[in-house]
Structure 1
């Protein structure tokens, strides 16, 4: 089901807060698993690195959404 507005999630503003929360959650999980990764089995390092990589990916998505939103605002104000 859709509202048939033709807009994307970037226009609605859902992506920015959700991506920020996902980035924060995965960065927190990476920090919580860092001690176990440093003192435990080398396979535990993969979990910490994976959490960190997902956090960075979510931040990049959030930055792209912010840039798309601010780019759309500047274009609308120029008209």
Structure 2
């Protein structure tokens, strides 16, 4: 069930949008749990910090994927 292209997921562009959406989702969840973490039990802070850490990790994966593609995403954004 392969498309015989021989390319990886990084060059085919699947990682960049998925990692961006994951980063957005986890950042949103960190923001939604921040109020409970600040006003509640100190153990609730771990959930918020965990969500924020996963969001940062997803952003780093996205940055590495863009670099692996050779900056094609940045060139497309500039209209080239």
TM-score, structure 1 normalization: 0.86
Distance 2:10 2:63 in 1: 11
Length, aligned pairs only: 72
Q: Which runs of 4+ in 1 moved over 6 A?
A: none
Counterpart of 1:76? none
Distance 1:71 1:28 in 2: 27
Unmatched 5+ stretches in structure 2: 73-80
Distance 2:43 2:16 in 1: 33
Counterpart of 2:78? none
Distance 1:68 1:3 in 2: 21
Q: For 2:69, what is the secondary structure of its paired residue?
A: helix
Distance 2:41 2:22 in 1: 27
TM-score, structure 2 normalization: 0.85
Residue 4 of structure 1 and its aligned partner are, at CA, apart by: 2.2
- CA RMSD of superposed structures (Å): 1.3
Task: Tell me, yes or no, if structure 1 residue 57 matches structure 2 residue 57.
Answer: yes
